[in-house]
Amino acid sequence: MAGLMTGKRGLVMGVANERSIAWGIASALAAEGAELAFSYQGEAFGKRVEPLAASVGSDFLVDVDVTDDASLAACFGALKDRWGTMDFLVHAIAFSDKNELTGRFINTSRDNFCNSLVISCYSFIDVARRAADLMPDGGSLITLTYGGSNRVTPNYNVMGVAKAALESATRYLANDLGPQKIRVNAISPGPMKTLAGAAIGGARATFRHTEANAPLRANATLEAIGGTAVYLCSDFGVCTTGEIIRVDGGYHVLGMPQAENL
C-alpha cells in the first residue's frame, strides 16, 4: 500500500527522540512517500533528531521554540524558500512544569497555567496560521491530545485544561480554514512511554491501567498513531475535519474498569 503520501510535503514538529509520537508519525508518513521537514527544540534535541531525519531521507531541520516568534518566522521562511508550498503539518508539542503534573490540580500556579496553555495550545493556532499561508491548494494540520481533556485523570492537571483548549481550538481552526480546503484534526492516543509522558505523575500506573482495561486490552503504538496520521494527511481523509480521533484501544468508551479488575 506504499505511496499514499507520494508528492506531499510537510513539517513534523516535536520529535525529541525515537520514542516520540512525532517520530512514529514521521516514520509512517515517510514510508508512504512523504517528503519531510523537522523542527526540534534546541541543540541537544537537534543532535538526536538529525540521524532520525536522515534515516527517512530528510536533511531539512529547523530549531524552533514555539514561544519565540523569531524562530517560528525563520522556520516558515525556510519552508517557503525551499518548498514554496506545503501539504501538511504535524504539531506534537506540549509542556508543563513537571512539579504541577502531580498532586492536586487546585494548586496550579498562574505562571505555569499561562506557560502550559501558550506552549501546548496557542502554538497550534500560531503554526496553523503560518502553515495555511503555504497551503494554497488545501492541506492537513494535525495536533496531539489526550483523553484527560474531558475526563479527570489523576496528576494530568493543567495539561487536561490545556488539551481541552487545544481540542476546542482544533474545531475553531477547522471552521476558519475549511473554505481553504485545509483540514484540522487531533489524534488522541492513550498513554505512551515518551519523555513528556514520563513527566506525568503515576505514568507507569496509568499505562498499566489502560492496557488492562481498554476493550482491546492494549495501549496505543507508534505504528497505530502513525497510521491514523497517514489517513488524516492523505487524500483518504479528505472529508474529515474538526475531529478528535482516539487511538486508545477503546479506553474512552468505558464507564468503569473491567469486571476482572474490580
Which residue among 89, 117, 144, 233 contacts ligand NAD (CB under 6 A)? 144
Residue nearest to ligand NAD (CB): 197
Site stretch for ligand NAD (CB under 6 A), options 4-12, 106-114, 131-139, 186-194: 186-194
The answer to whether 172 is a known catalytic residue is no
Q: Does residue 225 interact with ligand NAD by CB under 6 A?
A: no
The kind and range of the H/E element at 205 are: helix 203-213
Contact track, ligand NAD, 12-41, x by CB under 6 A: --xxx---xxx------------------x
What SS3 class is residue 254? coil
Which residue among 18, 65, 126, 211 contacts ligand NAD (CB under 6 A)? 65
Q: Does residue 94 interact with ligand NAD by CB under 6 A?
A: yes
From the list 23, 56, 57, the residue with the least C-alpha distance to 39 is: 23
Contact 120, 163 (CB under 8 A): yes
The answer to whether 251 is a known catalytic residue is no
Which residue among 10, 139, 160, 191 contacts ligand NAD (CB under 6 A)? 191
Within 8 A by CB and 6+ apart from 96, the residues are 112, 115, 116, 120, 157, 158, 159, 162, 199
Identify the active-site residue in 40, 156, 231, 251. 156
End-to-end alpha carbon distance in the chain: 42
Rounded Cα gap, residues 232 and 183, in angstroms: 8
What SS3 class is residue 98? helix
Site stretch for ligand NAD (CB under 6 A), options 26-34, 89-97, 128-136, 171-179: 89-97
Rounded Cα gap, residues 211 and 205, in angstroms: 10
**What count of other Cβ atoms lies within 10 Å of the Cβ of residue 218?**
16
Q: Does residue 177 interact with ligand NAD by CB under 6 A?
A: no
Q: Does residue 93 interact with ligand NAD by CB under 6 A?
A: yes
Contact residues: ligand NAD, CB under 6 A: 14-16, 20-22, 41, 45, 64-67, 92-95, 119, 144-146, 189, 191-192, 194-197
**Residue numbers annotated as active site:** 146, 156
